[in-house]
């Protein structure tokens, strides 16, 4: 069977994680993509369930939400800048 070289661009961190997981299963990236491609052709669909990342907020987001609620309730001061119009904002941004 003749093969054709194909280039796939992956995020560096994703590639490291992918290599680690595939190695534990005895597969290479090339073997995995060949397996997935063959199954797609056979099944006429993506051969695995496609999941979204968790909707669970990160620790940073959780902290920001708590701070926003505390400001809203007056527990901590709201020191965020506010402007009455675009010109005030521009003036502020143009200051040295």
pLDDT tens digits, 10-67: 999 999 999 999 999 999 999 999 999 999 999 999 998 888 877 888 899 999 999 9
Range of the domain at 63: 59-94
Q: Is residue 74 situated within a structural domain?
A: yes
Q: Is it the case that residue 96 has pLDDT exceeding 90?
A: no
Number of domains within the chain:
2
pLDDT the model gives residue 13: 95
pLDDT the model gives residue 55: 80
Q: Is residue 63 situated within a structural domain?
A: yes
pLDDT the model gives residue 50: 85
Asked whether residue 64 falls in the same domain as residue 44, the answer is no
Asked whether residue 38 falls in the same domain as residue 64, the answer is no
Asked whether residue 38 falls in the same domain as residue 73, the answer is no
Nearest CA to 32 out of 43, 45, 44, 19 is that of: 19
Asked whether residue 32 falls in the same domain as residue 75, the answer is no
């Amino acid at each position: 069977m003749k093969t054709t070289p194909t280039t796939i661009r992956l995020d560096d961190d994703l590639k490291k994680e992918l290599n680690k997981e595939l190695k534990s299963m005895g597969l290479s990236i090339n073997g995995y993509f060949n397996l997935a491609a063959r199954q797609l052709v056979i099944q006429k669909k993506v051969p695995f369930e496609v999941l979204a990342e968790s909707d669970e907020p990160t620790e940073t987001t959780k902290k920001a939400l708590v701070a926003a609620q505390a400001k809203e309730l007056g527990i901590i001061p709201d020191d965020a800048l506010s402007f009455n119009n675009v010109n005030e904002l521009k003036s502020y941004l143009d200051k040295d």
